[in-house]
Amino acid sequence: MAPRIEVLNDGGFRSDGRRQYELREITIDLTQQGAADGAATITHGLTKVMVSVFGPREAKLRSQTIHDRANINVEVTIAAFSTGERRKRNRGDKRILELAATIKSTFEPVIQTSLYPRSQIDIFVQVLEQDGGLLQACINGATLALSNAGIPMLDFVCAVTGGVQLTSPMLDLTLLEENDMPHVTVAILPKTSKATLVTMETRLHVERFEEILRLAGEAGNILHRVFKGALRNRTTRLVASMDSGTRVAGEDDAMES
Amino acid sequence: MVEITIRKRPRTESVVTQRKFYKKTARGKVIKVLRERYLRDDIGCGIQGCGDCENSTSDPLPFTGDTQHNAYPDGHYILPDTNVFLHQMDLMESSLFRPPIVLLQTVMEEVRHRSIPLYNRLKALIRMDEKRIWVFYNEFRSETAIIAEEDESPNDRNDRGIRRAAQWYNEHIKLNRNVVRGQAKPKLPVVVLMTEDAANRNKADESGIPVTSIRNYISMFPENTAAQLLDSLSTAEETTLEPKLSGDGRQALYPEYYPESTLQAGLTTGNLYKGHFNASSYNYLQGTVSVHDLPKPVLLIGRENINRAVHGDQVVIEIFDEDKWGVEGDEVVDQEATLKNDDAADSDEEEENDEIIRKEAHAARVGEAAASKKQAQPTGRVVGIVKRNWRPIVCHVDATALPSASVPGSNSAKSLSIQTLLAHPTSTLLPRIRIRTRQGPSLVNKKILVAIDAWHTTSRYPDGHFVRVLGDIGGEDAEREGLMLEFGISYGAFGSAILGCLPPEGDQWIVAPKSDDGMWKGREDLRDLTICSIDPPNCQDIDDALHARPLPNGNIEAGVHIADVSNFVHADTPMDTEAAARGTTVYLVDKRIDMLPALLGTNLCSLRPNVERLAFSAIWELTPEAKIVNVRFTKSVIRSKAAFTYEEAQIRKDDPTLQDPLTTAIRLLNTLAQKLKAARMAAGALNLASPEVKIHLDSAESSDPIDVEQKELRETNSLVEEFMLLANISVARKIFEAFPATAVLRRHLPPPQTNFDKLKDILKKRKGMSLDVSSSGALANSLDKCVDANEPAFNTLVRIMATRCMLPAEYFGSGSVGRDTFGHYGLASDIYTHFTSPIRRYADVLAHRQLAAAIGYSPLHASLHSKANVERILEVVNRRHRMAQMAGRASVEYYVGLALKGRNERQGQGQTVTEEAFVIRTFRNGLGVFVSKLGIEGLVMFKRDLTEFDADNYCVTIPGSSAAVSGDKDVLISVFDKVVVNIEVETDKNTQKGKVKMTLVHPIDSRAL
């Protein structure tokens, strides 16, 4: 029995009208969110993640302080309404903990934690909508929120999911595609072209893996450009409003890249 | 370097670009699904020279469209809707139908949703070189994408989408053909929407879209093609749209099928059963359905119980109460004879013919009457069809069915009036098919291809349509093509894309010098070994060669070298895809239909003597007792020293004066093979027999068969076979070890004990012998004991009959079934695969790839890592394999018929061929006989009333009073008796179909009966 949808049809189109190497639409909103030191809402197509960053600040628990660097604390909550089927996930859910741990280990080598000994940086990730590429959205959102909060990092972290249908690689998978083929999530540091995260839960052939890794790296560079543009745009507007001395009421600089 | 971009999907358009729907899961939960889509402007219209679209294709639609059609002199393209493809695929595939076609994504997806086989045909159609088809992805183009409106059914939405696309195309063409001042206004081709749905046509008319129905469109074709194409139209569509044909006032001949929901419920509760319908070749009113859960197949007796099922359909059946159970009818009922006078036009009115009713009722009754006497078999009736097995069927037309005015040759034959005819399938398993045609007279004496469209409850026969003429009846080309079509063998020439995968050097290709790293990488140089091949005479595709030599330690090194096909056929190339689809090379008596292009099969991969060739070698170290010490596999380069036939090798081996290295190697191999065989037999391998005959052809050109003889088996046949088995088993172990989830293996399941019941019973009653079927070893032993001292051929006959009780062997992926079911029953091996004939079997190519990966020669292609993928490929290969076997047998049968005819003619008038035969089955009115010398089965018919039939003891008594019996004694004929039959080929006067007819000569002359 053939699958109900064709992931990649003969004309080279994917089920949502994209071609193999086309990423979904990205929107970035860097608006201030309450008391957070930095915040970002990012969407990749129909996946939407809101990230707020607090810190560096004093750790709530003494036991969590590290004497020579800051501790990174990642907490992920997945909204019950984020998937088609309403499903509540508890904080202790294994998948959520794993997601948080992955994000943490991705950022540990990138954030210059040694500048803030004995302090803590909190990254709160809220998943609002899910349609594939959840990890990639979380990481990208966290990068933007961290830089929005002014936390020094060595580089941006740009994450992309790549998959392969028999022999054709494709980028930025939707949920439908993720269910149907092996995929990897790759996070790279664009300046040095180093990968800070490569993870997959499915089996992938070695030869295909190389190809996907390379492609995801290139896609990371594209994302880098978009992130930089969004941050520059946001900063320019902040600076402009400071210069004019007026507060920008009801500021809404959601940026559509 | 590929270009990576980010697609935009403006929020303002989200009405069009987002789709929200609810779906119910299998567990009954309702979930909400949100999908997005990205609309684009870079989807081309596919028309050559279009200024707006970038059509980066080598095969665009012509600029002017098609200008041949009478209704559209300015040129046109057609844009068919889904139903056109669903119902009229034959028309679209016809080589006469070739206007440029715009195929919409909406249509493709709908076809895919409705029928996967049709979708595959559609895809093949797109690839065909002679068709001009452009696939337009209308759902992704911003101007033509639509969304479902409120209260709009998916069908209506799709229809609207198709109309929108047609409209867009016409506007698009207008926009791009500007009037240049001073020049004549350019002709604007139109895009014509083709649909059978009248409501859709009306709506299209309102919006000014050119629209046509298929019938109208075709009738405006130039005169001569119109008639032929009109015949190719399916009737299924018409009747649904013109309900006057069915229903009103006509009496239903068959019960309606149960509704889908009842079937589903019945299957889950176990009240109904699912299985494949097998028609009986002896009695057209009878068939069986093998149901998985039941030990015995279920009998379906009578027309109403078979209820429109056609051989091969997957059906749902209901089983009757036990008091209605019966046994298989013991009479031969021939459709041709019984229904001779049933005219197609008459049956249109379905005026029940009394005689037919009487005959059919009788045929059905026979089964029930005997029920009390013997162990009854469950009976039942068809209540639903899961999947039809309707493929094009080779038929011929009965000349007498035509009105006398239109006999061939007379002038009125040219008149193109519509006639209703019954097409007679060549296979006796299929019902006759009613077709409507305008070319009736010209179809007489032709083999034609007919497709079934529908079978209504009110119609005795299925309705079908004419597809095309294959050729004259009796013409060898037509017979061969008919045969290949019947078994679904694709016999077309290889396309250019496939030939493009061959090495560019063509037949100049040679193994590169050893300094070449590319070709020699990882290969062993075995050119100096004394390797030879042993094959049947005239073998062109030599895919195996052997060697053996003594080692200093007293052991023997033996090697099997197989053509390295995987060096040429790489995964995921057009050639690979084609080979996978063909599955196997098909051997017909007069033709070989290759799986791989001939350049590879008969040249580059063929291990010809004294030429360097690439090989994949399995090399064992064996003790002189033929125990394996170790085995290794390697890619190699070999140079075979000689190519022997079995006979040559045998003569060489037996000639004591020859002491050259080749001969000693053959002797060494032979001694090993004998020990291997003995070991195999001791382990319980079966020595099976199948009737194999060889056809002598006159010469290559005329291919007239001269004579038939039984194949002779020599020691050297067994030599080659033993080493091939050894190689296959060793390879199977290796690849299973390396790829436990996806190794391509072959197994032969042990047959259910009940399969042997009948044979056991006959043997016991007629010969007082018994069969022990508890294991393959026990069966082998008891088969050895079934010997009749007076009758050497008897043992072979029993073996043939035992073989028929067994299940067929099959390929499978090792991850798909339990480890304990891997065994090969016939070979008594716990694991087996096919490795030794990659030129002619696709499974071997896969095994080669896996073995190459297992020894670290090359990485395994991704597709062979996927369990689902391997399963899918092997399913096709299994089916192809089965079909190829049946086609081969049918071809032999056909040629045996021809040979008999030739023999009869040579012997002159009045003299006919007589042969000895064994009775293998008895009927109330006839005998089933097997002529071992010719390898054919036949039927001897009696007039019913004269005989006494004892079903329990499998015998027929012809009373002494009968005219046929010389003397007064009764003559008793039973199963396993040896009789003499007279064989002649008679041609049916009406259908021109050649038929082998047998009559008894000894012990009685049945011609007088």
Q: B108-120 pLDDT, tens per residue?
A: 988 888 877 788 8
Asked if B4's CB is within 8 angstroms of A23's CB, the reply is: yes
Burial B470-492 (b: 16+ CB within 10 A, else e): bbebeebebbbbbbbbbbebeee
Chain A CB contacts of B29 below 8 Å: 85
Quick check: B729 pLDDT over 90? yes
pLDDT for res B346: 45
Quick check: B875 pLDDT over 60? yes
Nearest to B838 by CA among B541, B632, B581: B541
Instruction: Taking residues A208-221, report their average pLDDT.
Output: 90
Question: Binning pLDDT at 50, 70 and 90, where does residue B404 land?
Answer: very low
Number of domains composing chain A = 1
Q: Which residue has the higher pLDDT, B846 or B504?
A: B846
Quick check: B154 pLDDT over 80? yes
Does a structural domain hold residue A34? yes
Does a structural domain hold residue A47? yes
Task: Decide: B87 and B234 in contact? Cβ < 8 Å.
Answer: yes
pLDDT for res B697: 59
Choose the closest CB to B33 out of A84, A171, A215: A84
Does a structural domain hold residue A20? no
Query: Using CA atoms, how far apart are residues B615 and B605, in angstroms rounded to an integer?
Result: 8
Instruction: Using a CB–CB cutoff of 8 Å, tell me whether B577 touches chain A.
Output: no
Task: For B269-287, write each residue's pLDDT tens digit.
Answer: 888 888 888 887 777 778 8
Point out the least confidently predicted range of A194-203, B396-405, B429-438, B713-722.
Answer: B396-405
| Residue B318 CA: distances (Å) to CA of B111, B257, B327 | 32, 11, 17
Asked if A6's CB is within 8 angstroms of B863's CB, the reply is: no
Query: Using CA atoms, how far apart are residues B465 and B90, in angstroms rounded to an integer?
Result: 9
ipTM of the complex: 0.87
- What's the CATH number of domain B912-1008, 2.40.50.140, 2.60.40.10, 3.30.200.20, 3.80.30.20? 2.40.50.140
Closest residue on chain B to A18 (Cα): B38
pLDDT for res B909: 58
Query: How distant is the Cα of A256 from the closest Cα of chain B, in angstroms?
Result: 9
Question: Binning pLDDT at 50, 70 and 90, where does residue B172 land?
Answer: confident
Check: CATH 3.30.910.10 for B260-387? no
Same fold, B260-387 and B393-486: yes
Query: How distant is the Cα of A147 from the closest Cα of chain B, in angstroms?
Result: 23
Q: What is the amino acid identity at position B649?
A: A
Instruction: Taking residues A196-211, report their average pLDDT.
Output: 85
Instruction: Taking residues B790-796, report their average pLDDT.
Output: 77
Query: Using CA atoms, how far apart are residues B101 and B81, in angstroms rounded to an integer?
Result: 11
What percentage of residues in chain B have a pLDDT greater than 90? 10
Asked if B137's CB is within 8 angstroms of A24's CB, the reply is: no
CATH for A154: 3.30.230.70
Instruction: Return the C-alpha torsion angle B583, B588, B590, B593, nearest 10.
Output: -10
Chain A CB contacts of B139 below 8 Å: 17
Point out the least confidently predicted range of A117-131, B548-562, B975-989.
Answer: B975-989
Instruction: Taking residues A15-40, report their average pLDDT.
Output: 91
Tokens of B272: 């109904």
Query: How distant is the Cα of B7 from the closest Cα of chain A, in angstroms?
Result: 5
Chain B, 840 to 869: residues with Cβ < 8 Å from chain A are 859-860, 862-863, 865, 869
Nearest to B615 by CA among B834, B838, B833, B832: B838
Closest residue on chain B to A6 (Cα): B109
Chain A CB contacts of B110 below 8 Å: none
Choose the closest CB to B865 out of A26, A131, A205: A205
Instruction: Taking residues B949-966, report their average pLDDT.
Output: 68
Instruction: Taking residues B532-543, report their average pLDDT.
Output: 85
Q: Which residue has the higher pLDDT, B516 or B263?
A: B263
φ and ψ of A71, to 5 deg = -95, 135
Interface mutation target, options B11, B27, B38, chain A, most CBs of A under 10 Å: B38
Asked if B6's CB is within 8 angstroms of A222's CB, the reply is: yes
Query: Using CA atoms, how far apart are residues B940 and B339, in angstroms rounded to an integer?
Result: 20
Does a structural domain hold residue A5? no
Asked if B33's CB is within 8 angstroms of A207's CB, the reply is: no
Q: How many residues in chain B?
A: 1009
Nearest to B650 by CA among B666, B669, B668, B672: B666
Does a structural domain hold residue A31? yes
Chain B CB contacts of A15 below 8 Å: 35
Choose the closest CB to A17 out of B32, B40, B116: B40
pLDDT for res B348: 42
pLDDT for res B850: 92
Query: Using CA atoms, how far apart are residues B23 and A141, in angstroms rounded to an integer?
Result: 31
Nearest to B531 by CA among B674, B676, B723, B671: B723
pLDDT for res B587: 85
Point out the least confidently predicted range of A131-140, A172-181, B177-186, B358-367.
Answer: B358-367
Q: Which CATH architecture describes the domain B61-233?
A: 3-Layer(aba) Sandwich (3.40)
Asked if B7's CB is within 8 angstroms of A2's CB, the reply is: no
pLDDT for res A136: 95
Quick check: B240 pLDDT over 70? no
Q: Which residue has the higher pLDDT, B333 or A244?
A: A244
Query: How distant is the Cα of B860 from the closest Cα of chain A, in angstroms?
Result: 9
Quick check: A70 pLDDT over 80? yes
Choose the closest CB to A46 out of B32, B34, B860: B34
User: Which of A7-16, B330-339, B911-920, B966-975 is the most confident on average?
Assistant: A7-16
CA contacts within 13 A on the Cβ side of A111: 31
pLDDT for res B1005: 67
Burial B299-319 (b: 16+ CB within 10 A, else e): bbbbbbbbbbbbbbbbbbbbb
Burial B508-528 (b: 16+ CB within 10 A, else e): eeebeeeeeeeebeebeebee
Chain B CB contacts of A20 below 8 Å: 2
Quick check: B69 pLDDT over 60? yes
Asked if A21's CB is within 8 angstroms of B6's CB, the reply is: no
Q: For chain B, which residues make up each domain, given as ranges?
A: 61-233, 260-387, 393-486, 511-745+827-884, 757-796, 912-1008
**Residue B547 in 3-state DSSP?**
strand
pLDDT for res A41: 96
Quick check: B709 pLDDT over 70? no
> Does residue B656 have a cis peptide bond before it, meaning omega lies within 30 degrees of 0?
no
Asked if A17's CB is within 8 angstroms of B39's CB, the reply is: yes
Q: How many CB pairs under 8 A join A and B?
A: 102
Average pLDDT across chain B, whole number: 79
Does a structural domain hold residue A13? no
Asked if A206's CB is within 8 angstroms of B859's CB, the reply is: yes
Quick check: B30 pLDDT over 80? yes
Asked if A21's CB is within 8 angstroms of B5's CB, the reply is: yes
Instruction: Taking residues B604-608, report their average pLDDT.
Output: 88
CATH number for the region B393-486 comes to: 2.40.50.700
Quick check: A250 pLDDT over 60? no
Nearest to A205 by CA among B869, B3, B577: B869
Does a structural domain hold residue A100? yes
Asked if B139's CB is within 8 angstroms of A17's CB, the reply is: yes
Chain A CB contacts of B3 below 8 Å: 21
Asked if B34's CB is within 8 angstroms of A23's CB, the reply is: no
pLDDT for res B450: 86
Point out the least confidently predicted range of A176-185, B153-162, B233-242, B274-283.
Answer: B233-242
Asked if A46's CB is within 8 angstroms of B36's CB, the reply is: yes
Asked if A16's CB is within 8 angstroms of B37's CB, the reply is: yes
User: Which of B300-304, B358-362, B464-468, B574-578 is the most confident on average?
Assistant: B574-578
Query: Using CA atoms, how far apart are residues A246 and A254, in angstroms rounded to an integer?
Result: 20
pLDDT for res B246: 41
Asked if B38's CB is within 8 angstroms of A18's CB, the reply is: yes
Query: Using CA atoms, how far apart are residues A42 and B285, in angstroms rounded to an integer?
Result: 69
Asked if B29's CB is within 8 angstroms of A16's CB, the reply is: no
| Residue A31 CA: distances (Å) to CA of A37, B70, B190, B518 | 11, 66, 53, 59
Residues 6+ apart with CB under 8 A from B78: B99, B100, B101, B102, B191, B192, B193, B194, B217
Chain A CB contacts of B5 below 8 Å: 21-23, 222
Per the structure, the complete domain to which residue A126 belongs is given by: 26-244
pLDDT for res B618: 93
Instruction: Using a CB–CB cutoff of 8 Å, tell me whether B522 touches chain A.
Output: no
Asked if A131's CB is within 8 angstroms of B123's CB, the reply is: no
Question: Binning pLDDT at 50, 70 and 90, where does residue B848 land?
Answer: very high
| Residue B40 CA: distances (Å) to CA of A13, A125, B49, B140, B201 | 11, 33, 20, 6, 29
pLDDT for res B710: 60
Instruction: Taking residues B121-145, report their average pLDDT.
Output: 85
Query: Using CA atoms, how far apart are residues B385 and B926, in angstroms rounded to an integer?
Result: 34
Closest residue on chain B to A132 (Cα): B35
Instruction: Taking residues B158-183, report their average pLDDT.
Output: 82
Query: How distant is the Cα of B864 from the closest Cα of chain A, in angstroms?
Result: 10
Choose the closest CB to A25 out of B9, B123, B139: B9
Query: Using CA atoms, how far apart are residues B615 and B277, in angstroms rounded to an integer?
Result: 45
Chain A CB contacts of B7 below 8 Å: 17-18, 22-25
Q: Which residue has the higher pLDDT, B614 or B349?
A: B614
pLDDT for res A226: 94
